[in-house]
Amino acid sequence: MDFSDIEKSKFFKNEKNLKKNSNHQTIIKTKKKNSKSINSSNFECDNTVNVDNIQINNIKSTFSKWSPSNWKKHLNNIKEMRRNYTAPVDRMGCQKCADESESGPVFRFQTLIALMLSSQTRDQITHNAMQRLKECRCTPEYIISISDEELGKLIFPVSFWKRKVQYLKKTSKIVLEKYNGDIPTNIHELSNLPGVGPKMAHICMNIAWNKISGIGVDTHVHRISNRLKWVPKPTKSPEETRLALESWLPKELWRDINYLFVGFGQEICRSQQPRCLQCLNKSICCYNNQYQF
């Protein structure tokens, strides 16, 4: 998905509107009274995702007056279905693409590049493209130094590879000129980079900087959230879904939702021919009961 200046301005406008939302005004009042409220700037987490460490039952949904019924049961069941790490995202997701032996700036840059390549592209294709780039030592200096044709051959056949060549070139130049070879440290500056949207930026903050800035909502998270009725009303875009989820889902779970839902969406809750009979949520899923798979 490509993000124009207009779309990015809508994204930042949504961020401002969210802060003004009455639910969030209630949250602010609650935080003043409760010294134990979560501060996202102090929240630390390990980059390695382990479903066994995702605690659900003891978490209270106090972030909004509204929350979906059975959401803890849904999540516990998804966690159980994801226990064996057999989805493509487990082996070839963007969290597996960057070279951990590289320096911090290079590791973060490679994470960003993997996310940019992953847009509307299967994990295996993204992972293979990153392997080819890393063989040439994927750095902003290298990407700028080679021709568009050479870069295109390295990332083909990712979706919209010709357009992504331009995005990679422009982003590499900005990273070198403005950030001394590293990537931005905040969600707004990341989202301003060519070809980087809100989903990529939030996931990049998570993987590259180990910071939780928001929920990374892709097509899987968007689809599953609507099927399970995790949104108060049907949402039309991933960004709308993100705002809805963040209004009630406890912040302790923001980091893991993308990882859990993507794998679940790849294996069970697929966009076409979902495997509802294999799903542990089939008896408490509105989508399954509606279509009676």
CATH number for the 97-209 domain, one of 3.50.50.60, 3.90.1150.10, 1.10.340.30, 3.40.50.720? Answer: 1.10.340.30
Count each helix (H run) and each strand (E run) in the chain, helices first: 15, 0
Q: What pLDDT does residue 286 have?
A: 87
Mean pLDDT by 10 residues, the chain (293 residues): 49 50 44 38 42 54 72 98 97 97 97 97 98 96 98 98 98 98 98 96 98 97 97 96 97 96 98 96 88 45
The whole-number pLDDT of residue 223 equals 98
Architecture in CATH of 65-86+214-293: Orthogonal Bundle (1.10)
Which residues are catalytic, by number?
199
Identify the pLDDT of residue 255.
95
Q: Looking at residue 160, what is its pLDDT? A: 97
**Residue extents of the structural domains in the chain:** 65-86+214-293, 97-209
d(CA 209, CA 10): 25
Please report the pLDDT score of residue 14 as a whole number: 54
C-alpha to C-alpha distance for 245 and 28, rounded to whole angstroms = 17
The predicted-structure confidence for 195-213, as pLDDT tens digits, reads as follows 999 999 999 999 999 999 9
Q: Do the domains 97-209 and 65-86+214-293 match in fold?
A: no
Measured between alpha carbons, how far apart are the two ends of the chain, in Å? 31
